[in-house]
Amino acid sequence: MKITVFLLLLLVCSVSTDQSTPETDKEIHLQQPCPQDVHAVLREMTASLAQLKTEMTFVQKENQAKLKELEKQETEVERQKTEINNLKHELKDNVITLSVKQVAFSVSLLAEGDATLGPFGTHTTLIFKHVVTNIGNAYNPNTGMFTAPVRGAYHFEFYIGTHGANTAAVLVKNTNHIFAAYEHQSANFGSSSQGATLLLEAGDVVFVRLWQQSKTYDNSNRHTTFSGHLIFTMLEGNTPSLS
């Protein structure tokens, strides 16, 4: 609007100058000079522009502050999302842990009768058929293997009986021999045992192997046995010190 007034004043001044006649000179002379009107408008426009610039600067600073605050809020939202996801994973792990925290089994070699097994030409997995306890169903009586359902510390024990023969067996974790037991009897009955506490990952297997060329004996008194239980669970990345 102010620019339009300025242009109109310039136009009036131009027309007044071009159409000047002796008759109108006196009338024009009595009017307010155009240059003064132009300068007044220019001063007003300059003041308006300065005020507009100040207002724009203020709005710009205000918008920058709002943008920073928005970025801060977005960062906080992302942090909270990460924390929620971590809590969900932790809760899931805790639920799994609680659902499998009761794990224990105790088995003996023969379901019934008495018998001597072996000798065999290679190490042979003993399949303990008589199940006394199998809480959590982690032991498989068809394969003789215990499969860890969750990461944690487990304790195992095994006993091997013999009658008039040498016997030897070894506790195995996956493919690794842990502890072995040995007994020599030329005529009488005897037994030997071993035990170990192992850190197992979910899916690790533990079983007992009869040593090659060895024998083991069992009857209804349950001389040859295998037992184990979960002591406590351990979350991923929580590894105990070896010291």
d(CA 147, CA 174): 10
Higher pLDDT, 51 or 228: 228
104-137 residue pLDDT tens: 999 999 988 888 888 899 999 999 999 999 999 9
Higher-scoring residue by pLDDT: 171, 13: 171
Give the per-residue pLDDT at 25: 54
Is pTM beyond 0.75? Reply is: no
Convert the pLDDT of each residue in 174-219 to its tens digit.
999 999 998 887 777 878 899 999 999 999 999 999 999 998 988 8
Backbone conformation region of residue 68, classed left if phi is above 0, alpha if psi is from -120 to 50, else beta: alpha
Element (H, E) at 167: strand 166-173
Please give the average per-residue pLDDT across 57-86, as a whole number.
86
